Amino acid sequence: MKKTNFYLGSHVSMSAKEDYLVGSALTAIKNGANTLMFYTGAPQNSIRAATSKLNIEKFQQILIENELDINKVICHGPYIINLANTIKPETFELGVRLLKEELIRLEEIGVHTVVLHPGAAVGGDRTLALNSVAKGINQVYQALPNSKVKIALETMSGKGTEVCISFEELKIVLDQVEKKEMVGVCFDTCHLHDAGYDIKNNFNQVVVEFDKLIGLDKLFAIHLNDSKNPINAHKDRHENIGYGYIGFDALCEIVHNPIFSEIPIILETPWLNDNSTPYAAEITMLKAKKFADVFKDKR
């Protein structure tokens, strides 16, 4: 695969039907990507196939043969993990257990970054919820002190009682994490926009603010999504690249910004009405730095 000055890919499925991780890698390559993100199972539940079924060695070999760096491949943790819940101890405990299991699975796969939704306070005190996220992460690494898998807390849009919708809230969590080198942040451009950060017109200032408060060395991944809603809407509705309120130019600049040249950039944009994925076309456009209205009749 031709070397680019960035790592750009998308979420790809991992299922028995598609030969698990082999299908994930081949889909990414077909899309023209040089990185990818997968879930180790359905994000809404805890059901997971045994790692012995995932074709890990063949997956790793395909990456090598196609010059994809496994160190730039990332996983997304289950949505059902909610370390911010201080109302139901059983929910917090389930989240810790599932996150530990996820880190163990990823260690076996050879992927060393997992993106995690910090969770929601669900009626509890917001500061306590943020403290609880750090507490849960600390428990995970205390149980797995030699784990090489890093956690990237995703920036959230502020829908409902979600936490970590601002850099200040992320800092509260990160300041309490014991293994600081293992925990960082994943920017989601749609979420940042919907939370009130001006991705479209002033992204450089957003980056400066993040660097000053948290540090760019803590940025482990980027989810690249347009937004269906105006800034500060707190809605979290992803849109295809160039069709939303952020726009193609601003998102394309992120991909080509040398500051992010070593950070995996992952598309999570909506599938099209004909049940096809937009990723190959979006990757082509972003590589070429040229928007084309290729989805006009498919959205």
Q: Which parts are annotated binding residues for Zn(2+)? A: 76, 117, 154, 188, 191, 223, 236, 238, 268
Structural Rg of the chain based on CA atoms: 18
Alpha-carbon gap, residue 95 to 84, rounded angstroms: 9
- Give CA–CA dist 153/12, Å, rounded: 20
Output the known binding site: 76, 117, 154, 188, 191, 223, 236, 238, 268
Beta bridge partners of 188: 223
Joined tokens for residue 279:
């990723």
**Residue matched to tokens 């084309």:** 292
Look at residues 252, 258, 261 and name the one whose alpha carbon lies nearest to residue 199: 252
Q: Is 45 exposed, middle or buried (0-12, 13-18, 19+ CB in 10 A)?
A: exposed
Gap between the Cα atoms of 244 and 203, Å rounded: 16
Selection from 202, 136, 205, 203 nearest residue 164 by Cα: 136
**In 86-224, alpha helices (H):** 89-109, 126-143, 167-176, 189-195, 199-213
Sole residue written with tokens 């070397």: 3
Cα separation, 53 vs 20, whole angstroms: 8
CB count in 10 Å sphere of residue 48: 17
Nearest to 262 by CA among 216, 226, 193: 216
